[in-house]
Structure 1
């Protein structure tokens, strides 16, 4: 088998810890398909798909979360 030439690099500015989310208190936006869940863990905000909780979660700093929430409130992510 050929040796892999793929290198893994740390992303610039990626200073988020590897959080243990196993005991996180997840909050749901709704109940149903495509349910988005968030948890506040060790000063960070984790977001996951409640329909597939085994998949990786997105981790936000408070500043990133604030910018996301503000953008959502202002319709930045509306698809219409």
Structure 2
């Protein structure tokens, strides 16, 4: 297996953002400042939904509506109403 090619946003001049690579057909995301720690893994459908949500502002702090769901007080879902991700 070849080494992944990690890309990061051109607007991220320092090493504080995230990096993205496609590895064996899945999209992986890692913390640029901690490249040897855990990565997030998305199948192509969920990655497309996530990036669409970012472009549409679904993750803007003012737009988020969080709910605990199970009564534990821990946020189980934090998705903007009408979000691209709401159906996943």
Q: Aligned ranges for residues 23-38 of structure 1 at < 5 Å? A: 23-29=3-9, 30-38=12-20
Aligned to 1:69: 51
Aligned to 1:59: 41
State the distance in 1 between where 2:19 and 2:61 align: 20
Please list every run of 5 or more consecutive structure 2 residues that lacks an aligned counterpart in the other structure. 63-88
State the distance in 2 between where 1:78 and 1:36 align: 17
2:32 paired with 1:50: yes
The count of residues paired between Structure 1 and Structure 2 equals 60
Structure of larger gyration radius: 1
Deviation of 1:79 after TM superposition, in Å, equals: 1.8
Provide the alpha-carbon RMSD of the alignment.
1.7
TM-score if structure 2 supplies the norm length?
0.61
Please list every run of 5 or more consecutive structure 1 residues that lacks an aligned counterpart in the other structure. 1-19
TM-score if structure 1 supplies the norm length?
0.67
Deviation of 1:37 after TM superposition, in Å, equals: 0.4
Superposed structure 1 runs of 4+ greater than 6 Å apart: none
